[in-house]
Amino acid sequence: SLPSKVKIVEVGPRDGLQNEKETIPADIKIALVNQLTAAGFVNIEAASFVSPKWVPQMATSSEVMAAITRKPGVIYSALVPNMKGLEAALAANADEMVIFGSASEAFSQKNINCSIAESIERFREVALMAKQAGKRLRGSISCAFGCPYQGEVDVAAVVDVLKRLHDLGCDEIDIADTIGVGTPNKVQTVMQKLTQEFPIERLSGHFHDTYGQALANIYASLEVGISIYHSSVAGLGGCPYAKGATGNVATEDVLYMMNGLGIATGIDLDKVVDAGQFISTHLGRKAVSRAGNAIAAK
Ligand code: HMG
Ligand code: MG
């Protein structure tokens, strides 16, 4: 049977916006995070303390973290690639630090400018200091189902990175389909394998919807028993270091499916639809959420 409840991690303010060309004012990002908080998310990825030369859109992360209205109990997460990022995230009082690696050597080089082995060494001190500061630690594994540069990614490579992130003390580990190439059977095979190496209740699925497979892959993961999913309001997004990658699966679509399945999320879909319309209006385009647009049109 499927899980009776799931945790949805809203990644729109980070993964969703990081690739936008036009600078989005901090005020808009703050308003978005506040609307998402009001919608009932317990975990929102709100910031990314990476090099502003690499990802200019995230340069306002400190400003955003300082001005959002925090609801007690809600975890506001931030990406931290190295010690410099961690220091900034600690200063901004992020609740959860996200170290992000890859199962693909080629992607690791393009995204964080080092090999997988080097990234793990870099993360070691970050993980230690994050834990010492009493923060939650999350690990992310990109290209778990395929890579834009090297194509196929061996399941063994995913397992290997998972084990290393586990050793570093990650509380949660994200299995990411960066370019959305996974299909349900493959997703089940990989997820099943990973559950043998890491507690299933702390594994999450991070699916981009580039090939329209994300909801099917979430359902496939539900069948395996995975109960944490990442999604992006209005289907915002794309990775700057994965050419042609589109947004994460739209939060509205995921919530609509969970509601229909009778799986509890604790999130108010109508409020998410409003947040999706708000940010899409700001960006000057239609939301990339089928359910969101259908509900908004009623
Ligand atoms: P590097 O150039 O090798 O780093 O970049 P460096 O240590 O040599 O530093 C170079 C310059 O960057 C220096 O400045 C540093 O101070 C600065 P300069 O002396 O030239 O003026 N710098 C920083 N500034 C601010 N914050 C920092 C920081 N670190 C160094 N933390 C680095 C290495 C990792 C920094 C770089 O490659 C980088 O920032 N990469 C981030 C790429 C990124 O953000 N990608 C998108 C997020 S990952 C993603 O979307 C995937 C995910 O969604 C899952 C999935 O879907 O797959 C999570
Ligand atoms: Mg992503």
Q: How confident is the model at residue 268 (pLDDT cuts 50, 70, 90)?
A: very high
CA gap 22, 42 in Å, rounded: 29
Residues listed for the chain? 298
Q: What is the mean pLDDT of residues 139-161?
A: 97
Q: What is the dihedral of CA 275, 278, 281, 283, to 10 degrees?
A: -70
Question: What are the tens digits of pLDDT across the range 191-204?
Answer: 999 999 999 999 99
Cα of 125 from ligand 2 centre, angstroms: 24
Q: What would the two tokens of residue 191 be?
A: 């997820």
Q: For the stretch 279-294, what's the b/e string if a residue is b when 16 or more beta carbons lie within 10 angstroms of its beta carbon? A: bbeebeeebbbebbbe
Percent helix, strand and coil across the chain, each to the nearest 5: 45, 15, 35
**pTM given for the model:** 0.98
Chain mean pLDDT for the chain: 97
Task: Indicate if ligand 1 lies below 6 Å from the C-beta of 239.
Answer: yes
pLDDT at position 87: 98
Is 239 a catalytic site residue?
yes
Residue 210's H or E segment, with its range, is none
Ligand lying closest to the C-alpha of residue 99? 1
* Mean pLDDT value across residues 50-70: 98
Q: Is the pLDDT of residue 241 over 90?
A: no
Q: Can you give the pLDDT at residue 245?
A: 79
pLDDT of residue 235: 96
How many whole angstroms from 50 Cα to the centroid of ligand 1?
Answer: 4
Average pLDDT (44-63) is 98
Task: Give the β-pairing of 136-142 and 96-102.
Answer: parallel
ipTM over 0.90: yes
Tell me which residue has tokens 């919807």: 209
- Residue 266's alpha-carbon distances to 38, 57, 128, 164, in angstroms, are 11, 30, 32, 32
Work out the average pLDDT over 175-195. 98
pLDDT band at 244 (very low <50, low <70, confident <90, very high): confident
Query: Quick one: angle between helices 269-283 and 290-297, nearest 10?
Result: 100
What average pLDDT does this structure show over 136-144?
98
